[in-house]
Amino acid sequence: MPETWPEGVVARYLTKAAEILGEDITVDVAEGDGYATATCKGCGSDHRNERVYANVTVLPWAIDHAATCRAMPRPTP
């Protein structure tokens, strides 16, 4: 079950849609280049800030967004 996380990803949160569908739709928090970036794989929204603020703004954004996002990613052929 544990898949390999993309490089730089330090935290992942299942979205509301993932909870409903039982699929792996996540908000990924990645760090690199002095920045932390949270990206929703469902709707594409993101939030970015300097890495030192990751725990203050990026992680809370990821957690809040994941809890409410019901977007489904466009299927890839």
Site residues (vs Zn ion, CB under 5 A): 40, 42-43, 45, 69, 71
Q: Which is nearer to Zn ion, 26 or 54 (CB)?
A: 26
Q: How far is the CB of 46 from Zn ion (least distance, A)?
A: 9
Q: Which is nearer to Zn ion, 36 or 69 (CB)?
A: 69
Q: How far is the CB of 72 from Zn ion (least distance, A)?
A: 10
Q: Which is nearer to Zn ion, 25 or 36 (CB)?
A: 25
Instruction: Give the C-alpha separation, 71 to 59, whole Å.
Output: 19
Q: How far is the CB of 14 from Zn ion (least distance, A)?
A: 11
Instruction: Give the C-alpha separation, 51 to 44, whole Å.
Output: 20
